[in-house]
Structure 1
Amino acid sequence: MDITTVLFYIFSAVLLGSAFRVITAPSTVHAALFLILGFFNAACIWMLLKAEFLAITLVLVYIGAVMVLFLFVVMMLDINSDKVRQGFWKHLPLGGLVGAFAALEMAAVLMGGFRLNAAPEPSALALQLGNTKLLGIAIYTQYLYPLEIAAVLLLVAIIAAIALTLRGRKDSRSQNPGDQVKVKKGDRLRIVKMAPTVEVPAVEATAAAAAENSKGAA
């Protein structure tokens, strides 16, 4: 048994343990931290498989961005996990059955990969270009349509998330671009015609006459 095999079993054991703690941890923050540990061990396994691009993408995107966002949201919302755990034992048999069925499906798909005695040797083209460039060529040539379908699905999910969380508040002030485009100059400025002369009010005329009389008497 070489060092690569030993490291694979170590990383796999830690990955399985952290994945189990994600669903059994009493605190949501601890569950998110265990998920980060699981992602890190998955990245180490990909490094052992010489998939450097996938490993560094997992570290940068999921651990560096997505999980930080998860922790921020969990700590800001202060989720009460007691209500979430209500009815856990009631739904445990159904959940275990679904999990066992998913595990059997994954085992049926991945069983063929364990029958290889040794990993195939990389071709001369792979050694020359590298796995990152070969991955890009395969994605944008052979798997172009599945990539576009996945992009459309993600776009629909983003729009649905925005539509579900968008709430209008009565005390908020915002501008309507449609009303701004339809506005006319008559709605902004109104010219009022006025007479050229304005009559002096009676009160001011009486005060002016009294002032003149007082001056004449003096």
Structure 2
Amino acid sequence: MIAALAFYVFAAILIASAVMVVTSRNPVHSVLFLILAFFNAAALFLMAGAEFLALILVIVYVGAVAVLFLFIVMMLDIDFVQLRQGLQRYAPIGAVIGAILFLELLFVFGSWQFAPDVATLRLNAVPADPALSNTEALGRLVYTDYIFLFQIAGLILLVAMIGAIVLTLRDKPANSKRQDIAVQLARAEAVPLTKVPARTGLDKLGIVRRKLPEAPKPKKVAHEAHGHGHHDHEEGGHH
């Protein structure tokens, strides 16, 4: 009873936080809701007996990926007004793609069938081989039975990363400094290497140091002129 209640609580918070990730206007809030979704998903993995996935989700995704997302969102300073300028023009294309994805989901869930022995499975599932650990069983399942699906998921993530870079990349001004690899690696002239004898002065090798400019001399304060004027003033007053 307690396990079932905890499952529904974690699942409800996970779905609510996932919806807030998509619907939040502030991208920082979206990342924070994403972190909340990761924690609840980790709790569900723990209840299902997949402790390796739960720890990976917390350590890797929450501790590294989500924090990196947060830093990037705060540093990019994205102009959302500029991003929404072409929304009306591309809205029909987005609607068509969304409808296609929705139909695909309907086909997948329509043909979904539960295993005959699903009701007899325990909440904390263990591998069929007692000598096989949970991590090793997961590795065999992902990298042996579903290796092609795993590679396709990686390609989809790569396309999503490239799309995010293209959407957030701004046009740089013409006077901005750019790196030209060909010019940087090219050599206009060869520089010969000379073997310098030990304990040899620069003058013997024909290397003359450039003379440093002399330091400006301090200006003299005109105390003598001021003293002569004061003395003449006294003599004039005496006469």
Alignment TM-score > 0.5, same fold: yes
- Distance in 2 separating the partners of 1:145 and 1:75: 36
What residue is the counterpart of 1:201 in the other structure?
Answer: none
Residues 93-126 of structure 1: CA deviation (Å, up to 9, x unaligned): 657645643542452465526982221674552x
Structure with more helix by fraction: 1
CA distance in 2, matches of 1:173, 1:93: 40
Aligned alpha-carbon RMSD (Å):
4.4
Give how far 1:27 is off.
1.0
- Equivalents in 2 of 1:138, 1:44: separation in Å? 22
Please tell me whether residue 135 in structure 1 is matched to residue 128 in structure 2.
no
In structure 2, relative to structure 1, the CA distance for the partners of 1:169 and 1:158 (3 Å cut) is farther
Helix, strand or coil: the match of 2:8? Answer: helix
Q: Secondary structure at the match of 1:135?
A: helix
1:184 maps to 190
- Give the secondary-structure state (helix, strand or coil) at the position aligned to 1:128: coil
What is aligned with 1:63? 62
Contiguous gaps of at least 5 residues in structure 1: 190-218
In 1, the alpha carbon distance for the partners of 2:102 and 2:160 equals 31
Contact kept, 8 Å, 2:126 with 2:134, in 1: the verdict is no
CA distance in 1, matches of 2:22, 2:178: 39
Deviations 1:132-170 (A, max 9, x none): 1222234444455665x4598489769968x977x8985
**Matched residue, 1:42:** 41
- Tell me if 1:26 matches 2:25: yes
Distance 1:47 1:14 in 2: 16
Quote the offset at 1:42 in angstroms: 1.0
TM-score (norm 2): 0.56
Decide whether aligned partners of structure 1 residues 116 and 145 sit closer, same or farther in structure 2, where only a CA change above 3 A counts. closer
Identity %: 34
**Long gaps (5+) in structure 2:** 195-239
**Matching residue of 1:194:** none
2:233 match:
none
Distance 1:158 1:99 in 2: 16
Structure 1 CA distance, aligned partners of 2:40 and 2:66? 15
Distance 1:50 1:13, change over 3 A: same
Letter in 1 for 2:139: G
Letter of the 2:56 counterpart:
T
Aligned mates of 2:52, 2:153 — CA distance in 1? 20
Contact 1:14-1:38 within 8 A present in 2 as well: yes
How big is the shift at 1:74? Answer: 0.7
Superposition deviation, residue 62 in structure 1: 1.3
Could you list the per-position Cα deviations for residues 143-201 of structure 1 after superposition, in whole angstroms to 9, with x for gaps in the alignment?
55665x4598489769968x977x89854677767425x96346x89xxxxxxxxxxxx
Give the letter for the 2:29 counterpart.
H
Q: Which residue of 2 aligns with 1:104?
A: 106
